[in-house]
Amino acid sequence: LGAAEDGEGCSYWTRSMKSGNSFDWYMGAVWSKASPVKSAEQWEKEVRRVRDCIRTPLQVKVR
């Protein structure tokens, strides 16, 4: 897993994949004038929070 940034300040996470293997892809974006996320550090924290929610989904048992 790696990170890259383009010349316009956009950050990307990259990962090597093998042909024939499936993967899940999630996309997100923020704009400092329209979001409570104002920095790359806050964005990375939010991405990690969402990742943790995906890894451990809510489980509900109905009786």
Q: Assess if residue 40 is contained within a domain.
A: yes
Query: Is the distance from CB of 31 to CB of 37 less than 8 angstroms?
Result: no
pLDDT of amino acid 33: 81
pLDDT of amino acid 61: 94
Q: Number of folded domains in the chain?
A: 1
Side chain identity at residue 48, one-letter code: R
Rounded distance between C-alpha atoms, residue 46 and residue 27, angstroms: 12
Q: Tens digit of pLDDT for each residue in 12-53?
A: 777 888 999 988 888 777 777 888 888 878 888 988 898 899
Q: Assess if residue 2 is contained within a domain.
A: no
* pLDDT at residue 10 greater than cutoff 70: yes
pLDDT of amino acid 1: 66
Global pTM value? 0.55
Q: Assess if residue 3 is contained within a domain.
A: no
Q: Assess if residue 43 is contained within a domain.
A: yes
Residue 58 tokens, joined: 């809510």
User: What range defines the domain where residue 40 resides?
Assistant: 31-58
Q: Assess if residue 44 is contained within a domain.
A: yes
pLDDT of amino acid 7: 80
